[in-house]
Amino acid sequence: MLDLSRVLAGPWAGQLLADYGADVIKIERPVTGDDTRFWGPPWLTDNAGNQTGESAYFLAANRNKKSVTADLSQPGGQALVTRLARNADILIENFRVGTLAKHGLDADSLLHLNPRLIYCSISAYGQSGSRRLLPGYDAMMQAEAGLMSITGAPDEEGGRPQKVGVAISDIMTGMYAVTAILAALEARHRTGQGQSIDLSLYHSQVAWLANQNQNYLMTGKSPRRLGTAHPNLVPYQTFVTSDGEVMIAVGNDRQFLACMQCLDLGSVGSERRFATNVARVRNRANLVSLMSDQLRHRSSAHWLRKLAGAGVPAGRINDLHAVFSDPYAEETGLVRQLPHALAEGVPYVTNPVHFSATPVEYRSAAPTLGQHTDAVLGGELQYTAAEIEALRRSGAV
């Protein structure tokens, strides 16, 4: 598989496929490489205790890959990628629309050379339409495609639209890319033919708004920001306790009755105005007020013990230190060390998928820039040492 993508959406898809066993060759610009190599601090510390130029951001999205440098604006770089694409199963790219066509590396050109290729293009707004030439990053997509309008505290609490704390538009586009690629591979098993995939950050972001989309489409009313609350379920939000906050997520009437018993509000649970979720949504403010008054008198630990014992979903609001220091993290193998060219090991959050017969592979941390250029050119492409040196002198690799 060839990964010609930069930043996060494409690299995330490539990393996930690499976890699943794909041999992924990441093509990067000579000298500079992927933009995110410079998105620091923090930086990886080498075996001598010195900071390297390897950013945590780049490391997060490029494990299990090989790095080969190629200047796609030069004939030598174009020829290198073309030769790799002849035998590749998958190619992912996220260049501005039309850029790769100038270099003969677009979907039509490479599918002509390799009809079995799955060619996945990720862009801001897609390969067609009036916005196809516009650039886009995650944060602007969170804004433009509706996510920020439903994220954050409500206006009456002084809130303003907020973005999610990670680049979730990129991550979810990468996840859509993986499912699309796997579907295209399955189709190829039946037909023998590859195909191109057109995927945009904008449409992906709109698509995964899920129930919020459907709420609007069925009512014509734009959903409003509710902070931690849920538009369709009550109670489903954070509550202040005597020493912090807890998240309570009631999903059905049985859980609601159990929750009320835990909070010593059993009589409230039997009231008609709260008996069903429909009623609770209508009387949200009254119920939340009653629960808030009760919860603030005891500790988070007290309430969580009672709620867990009654089968009511509830949890702390943990920072990442709490997540990774929790004994449960070690119990479930949440983090593992992977070898890196400059360090003894790099910690990684493990893939959440657990296969019974084909386990996720953890081969190596993200590569240094061009780490595998000579090996790939000399091995898979059978370039001679003299040819590789000529390409390097010309700046093509």
pLDDT digits (tens, 9 = 90+) for 41-88: 999 999 888 999 999 999 999 999 999 999 999 999 999 999 999 999
pLDDT digits (tens, 9 = 90+) for 188-210: 999 999 999 999 999 999 999 99
Indicate the SS3 state at residue 10.
helix
Residue 44 parent element (H or E): strand 43-45
Residue 16 to residues 176, 330, 350: CA-CA distances in angstroms?
A: 11, 22, 11
How much is the average pLDDT of 208-234?
A: 96
pLDDT of the residue at 94? 97
- Amino acid identity, residue 34? D
**Rg of the chain's alpha carbons, rounded to an integer?**
25
- Distance from first CA to last CA of the chain, Å, rounded? 19
The phi and psi torsions of 150 (rounded to 5 degrees) equal -115, 10
Contacts for 328-337: CB closer than 8 Å, 24+ residues apart: 336/362
Instruction: Judge contact between 378 and 388, C-beta under 8 A.
Output: yes
Cα 329–Cα 331–Cα 336 angle in degrees, nearest 5? 60
Residues with catalytic function: 170
pLDDT of the residue at 104? 96
Instruction: Judge contact between 307 and 259, C-beta under 8 A.
Output: yes
Domains of the chain: 2-207+332-394 (3.40.50.10540), 236-317 (3.30.1540.10)
388 Cβ contact list (under 8 Å, min separation 6): 373, 374, 377, 378, 397
How much is the average pLDDT of 174-191?
A: 98
Confidence of residue 23 (pLDDT cuts 50, 70, 90): very high
Confidence of residue 329 (pLDDT cuts 50, 70, 90): very high
Question: What predicted TM-score, i.e. pTM, was given to this entire model?
Answer: 0.94
Is 130's pLDDT higher than 90?
Answer: yes
Cα 122–Cα 128–Cα 132 angle in degrees, nearest 5? 65
